Amino acid sequence: LENERDGLQKMKEACVGAIEDVANATYDPELAIAKRLFAKVKSDL
């Protein structure tokens, strides 16, 4: 049972890590676009 519990914990950690990687990769282009947009608006003011 201990080995099974360790295996499940490792799977959980891998899943959380994969979700974080996807979330970070997904929002990078949107953040770059938003930063450029706000920079242009700020320079226009």
Query: Cα Rg for the chain, rounded, in angstroms?
Result: 20
Using DSSP, state whether 45 is helix, strand or coil: coil
**Structural domains of the chain, count:** 1
Q: pLDDT at position 15, please? A: 79
From first to last of the 45 residues of the chain, give the pLDDT tens digit. 778 888 888 888 887 777 776 666 667 788 889 999 898 887 776
Q: Is the dihedral of CA 8, 14, 18, 21 positive or negative?
A: positive
Using DSSP, state whether 1 is helix, strand or coil: coil
Boundaries of domain holding 16: 1-45
Q: pLDDT at position 22, please? A: 66
